[in-house]
Structure formats: structure tokens, C-alpha cells
Amino acid sequence: MGFNAEIIAGIAILGMGIIFIFAGEINSTWGEIMLAHYIIAALGAAVLGLGIWTSRYEAKHSLRTHHH
């Protein structure tokens, strides 16, 4: 299993969501939109899951060429 764009993007979005959640715990202005932070983190986890699934799928169904 290797890294692909979905895994990298998922890690970045999930990390951003977690940072926003921590910021919402500290700052009351950021805390007012806490639901958005959880949605961002959930989207990041979903993209990360998609990347892992895609990576496993491509490993199982790779195109093999025969050189003669």
C-alpha cells in the first residue's frame, strides 16, 4: 500500500479540523462554529478512508503488462 493524493489530502484536512476543534475549545469566537470544525474533521476522515480504499483497490487490481 502506498501513499496517494487522497491519503495526503485526508491527513491534511483531518489535521486542520483537529486544530480548529482545539482552537474552538480555547477561543469563544471559534467555539461558536464548533459544528463546522467537526464537519471538517469528518470530511478529512472520509477522504483519508477513500484514499486507503483506493490504494488497496489499485494494489489488488493493478494493470500488469507482459514484456516479450
**Confidence at residue 31, expressed as pLDDT on a 0 to 100 scale:** 87
Question: For residues 6 and 21, what is the distance between their CA atoms, to the nearest angstrom?
Answer: 22
Question: How do residues 11-59 score in pLDDT, each as one tens digit?
Answer: 999 999 999 999 999 998 988 999 999 999 999 999 999 999 998 888 8
What b/e readout covers 25-51, taking b as 16+ CB neighbours within 10 angstroms? eeeeebeeeeeebeebbebbeebbeeb
Q: Answer yes or no: are the C-beta atoms of 60 and 50 closer than 8 Å.
A: no
**Confidence at residue 61, expressed as pLDDT on a 0 to 100 scale:** 79
Q: What is the pTM of this model?
A: 0.81
**Confidence at residue 8, expressed as pLDDT on a 0 to 100 scale:** 95
**Confidence at residue 32, expressed as pLDDT on a 0 to 100 scale:** 92
